[in-house]
Structure 1
């Protein structure tokens, strides 16, 4: 298995251990030996991404967690659902709302993907993020569909009990209560109302009052664009996907006790993907930063804690092979994801304080960081990880503009 490096750490002669994708399209195949011009091209087009390269010594020494299956499933789902959303957008180019025949094709595609995901279980969720291009809404819809469905599938019993509670139905049929189809369709179509507002996604400056009101209404607009035959629960998911678990959010600030479990699932999936996606108005936040903010940081009260626990078990804050600097200057390489303690993976010390690879005789067995609190993670991919080690910061963190109701940018409208 590989070491995950930034573009600036790549050198000619390194061999790609994992393919490089852009918007689910293959850029460089796994096994490719990198040349100067290819590294320059990656640096120019995708300066923010990380790349996995092979390391024969570590491969021989330690058994890395293999997440190639997770990438294959993620690419398959993203491609199919992004194409489905392209079709939806094309339809809306000639009509103001989806119609009955559109719904049938959509339901067939969603059902096929639900079966595919069920038949290809994964231990972790990988999301595809484009480094360039203008198809953000399509990619975002595909990612929210995939992550929302994985979360829902993991907590089916919780879904059933919460649906039973919120509908106040004593004898809610298990088959109905555990049916995730409305969630899946709602996740895929949740930003229908943003299609007409897409220019705002590329606005670098603050939104004015009219633009903020338009964005606030996009969940309602999206629900209105659905065909009349659409399932009422699916319509509700779209209408409430920006409502928070603490009774805030938009467009209606639904009380937490009344918020449907599907609304809580899509809220988490939508926020996570939005926070980790790069847009013109700001760089993507890292997976570790967003997971920390949503689970134990200043945003934790916005989300259902049960759903958040599942999110942190599915998403790897640090990818397998991540090279992380620790407190004494040396570097560890992530070997396995820790589902119970996601910010404390299993890792092996593989580089000295000068960044030089350790010799085979210097290597020791991987360390479960959840059992070794003395090892502090300091920096990964140029990001300061002090927030992981300082429990005071997030308690005293100031409320963001989005939480305070003083929304002035597109980013604050989509994350948290």
Structure 2
């Protein structure tokens, strides 16, 4: 199968994997032939990419660190939980969140060594709940690379899943404002970290609550709410900061289009040592696949290719099968092309 941007999908393409909505329900099943109407609907729902059947399936070993059934179940649980917690009088029963996090931790540990296909985390149509789960998954993956124990990963995951829960106390007109926030609105928005901490510290561990409190702190001390820096930011806060920003950048929002994965990756690198802990940036870069196996890509020389293998630690330079007239013309390893300047541009 081949992952392809919805903008490049053509009528007649056949789905190789189902497409889900934010409730975890199947929108389009595997084997469905896409029509113009289906494609327009996918765009309307902000689905960014889909898997389609490909004549090159024998060349691609598509690995996934997270299976569809687990991710879908966690999405459903998270959607239900966040809606419940939005009520000021909500009962802070986080047992379903704990169950979801443990499912994710166990699944990711079982698939240790498989690079995370971050783009697959956006194959759902509701940002609020997808962002919660995506930040949780990315944080756990980074935590595994750091060497955290299963118990520590569960604590980190719990905090990351609920890192933005304080936003349920922020007026929706500020949360979804299409333009730039005023100074007064931004001051209100920043309070979500304190609101989240207050909501969680009575219902979960202090470490998990600190993810909600510290995920907006910056390594150089210019973040909020306290402006702490370096190692004074808890490890969980330094991990979740990377996960939160990367997922936010690559997600579609009411006020902007998603940033391509490679550009978001470059942004994370550029902020190493200022916004982010350099060590956490290195762990992040070694555990994610910016161009997962099966991705259709375009090179700077205009040629198109299919990603067939990853180079661990170098997510921008995978192994590619060049395609000409829908046939494989050549296999190139972009690690060997560093001197030539050949890079993926889309």
**Pairwise TM-score range, normalised by the shorter structure:** 0.7 to 0.9
Indicate the residue corresponding to 2:35 in structure 1: 35
- Distance change (3 Å), C-alpha of 1:78 and 1:19: closer
Taking the TM superposition and a 5 Å limit, the aligned residue runs for 1:251-330 are: 251-295=225-269, 297=270, 301-330=274-303
1:154-196 deviation per Cα after TM superposition (whole angstroms, max 9, x unaligned)? 212xx5xxxxxxxxxxxxxxx79x7233212111111111112
1:105-141 deviation per Cα after TM superposition (whole angstroms, max 9, x unaligned)? 54344334433433344612234226644xx332211
- Distance change (3 Å), C-alpha of 1:94 and 1:7: closer
Please report how far the alpha carbon of residue 71 of structure 1 lies from its aligned counterpart in structure 2 after TM superposition: 5.2
Secondary structure at 1:277 match in 2: coil
Please report how far the alpha carbon of residue 205 of structure 1 lies from its aligned counterpart in structure 2 after TM superposition: 1.6
Indicate the residue corresponding to 1:379 in structure 2: 345
Q: What RMSD in Å do the two structures reach over aligned CA positions? A: 2.8
- Distance change (3 Å), C-alpha of 1:287 and 1:141: same
Please report how far the alpha carbon of residue 92 of structure 1 lies from its aligned counterpart in structure 2 after TM superposition: 4.3
Please report how far the alpha carbon of residue 299 of structure 1 lies from its aligned counterpart in structure 2 after TM superposition: 5.9
Indicate the residue corresponding to 1:80 in structure 2: 74
Question: Partners in 2 of 1:50 and 1:183 — Cα distance?
Answer: 29
Please report how far the alpha carbon of residue 371 of structure 1 lies from its aligned counterpart in structure 2 after TM superposition: 1.1
Secondary structure at 1:379 match in 2: coil
Indicate the residue corresponding to 1:14 in structure 2: 13
8 Å contact from structure 2 (residues 70, 104) kept in 1: no
Higher helix share: 1
Taking the TM superposition and a 5 Å limit, the aligned residue runs for 1:3-402 are: 4-23=3-22, 24-46=24-46, 49-56=48-55, 58-60=56-58, 63-67=59-63, 69-70=64-65, 72-73=67-68, 76-93=70-87, 95=89, 99=92, 102-121=93-112, 123-127=114-118, 128-129=121-122, 132-133=125-126, 136-156=127-147, 179-197=152-170, 198-226=172-200, 228=202, 230-295=204-269, 297=270, 301-351=274-324, 356-358=325-327, 363-364=329-330, 366-373=331-338, 374=340, 376-377=342-343, 379-380=345-346
1:204-236 deviation per Cα after TM superposition (whole angstroms, max 9, x unaligned)? 122122211111121111111125353222222
8 Å contact from structure 2 (residues 50, 123) kept in 1: no
8 Å contact from structure 1 (residues 15, 33) kept in 2: yes
8 Å contact from structure 2 (residues 16, 31) kept in 1: yes
Please report how far the alpha carbon of residue 290 of structure 1 lies from its aligned counterpart in structure 2 after TM superposition: 0.6
Question: Partners in 1 of 2:49 and 2:202 — Cα distance?
Answer: 45
Question: Partners in 2 of 1:120 and 1:92 — Cα distance?
Answer: 34
Q: Where in structure 1 are there 5+ consecutive unaligned residues?
A: 160-174, 381-416
Secondary structure at 1:370 match in 2: coil
Q: State how many pairs are aligned.
A: 341
| Bigger Cα Rg | 1
Q: Where in structure 2 are there 5+ consecutive unaligned residues?
A: none
1:3-29 deviation per Cα after TM superposition (whole angstroms, max 9, x unaligned)? x33334333332223333333442222
What TM-score does the superposition give when structure 2 sets the normalisation length? 0.87
Question: Partners in 2 of 1:375 and 1:53 — Cα distance?
Answer: 30
